[in-house]
Every structure is written in structure tokens, then in C-alpha cells.
Structure 1
Amino acid sequence: MVKIKDLTVDDLEYLIEQKVLEILGDPDSGLELKDEFKAELRERLKNSSKRISHQEVVKRVG
């Protein structure tokens, strides 16, 4: 068994996140997207100039 002192910060954060998800679950699990929303997403994806990368989101949000 791994001891906490041997974990990296990332490993510990991951374990905590997994435990929270296990306890609380995903409130959106089993829900379906409405057709109107799917169509809107498809339209947005066609305009690549408005897309931002994951790295940019992380920079902006932290």
C-alpha cells in the first residue's frame, strides 16, 4: 500500500477528486442533451476562430 508521504501533489489531487466523485457522483449522469443544444454545438464547432485551446482555458481560469 502506498503511503501519502510517497505521493506527488498531482497523485494526491487525483485521489481526492476520484473520492469526491465516488461519494457525490455525477449529477448529469444519465441525462441526454436536447436536440436544439446539439445543433447549437455543431454550429459553434464550425467556427474554429472562436475556439480556444485547453492550455488557454487553464491560463485564463487557473
Structure 2
Amino acid sequence: MQVKDLTIEKLKLLIQKTVTETIESLLIDFEEDKELKPEIKQQLLDSLQRTRSGEHGIPAQEVAKKLGLSW
């Protein structure tokens, strides 16, 4: 399947899953090799938990608008 064949909702879920996996891999790498500031690690873990529980973050359009970008 190609991205062009995905619905908007399926694309959002794919992006969400990719971001979650990336954050998890960063936490694992940091746990093995380097120290991550406890407050940063907690913020990432809290974000993962909120995502897993179905909470949505700031819509991309809103972020783009705040940054002065066209969406």
C-alpha cells in the first residue's frame, strides 16, 4: 500500500505510531549509552502514555499556523 492510498485517519495513525516508536527507541538508546535528564525522560514517558491512552496533541495545522507556515 502506498501513502496516497491511505485515508487521512490512517495516515495520522501511521505518523503517530512512527513518532511513538522513535521516542521509545531514543529512550532505550539513552538508557543504554547516556544519561537523559530525568525531567526530559519523564516528559517523554508522559507523552507516550497520553498517546497510548488516545489523547491527541496539538493539530498540525495549529502548529503550522503558530510557526507562520502554510499547511
Global fold match (TM > 0.5) = no
So what's the TM-score if we normalise by structure 1?
0.40
So what's the TM-score if we normalise by structure 2?
0.35
Larger Rg: 1
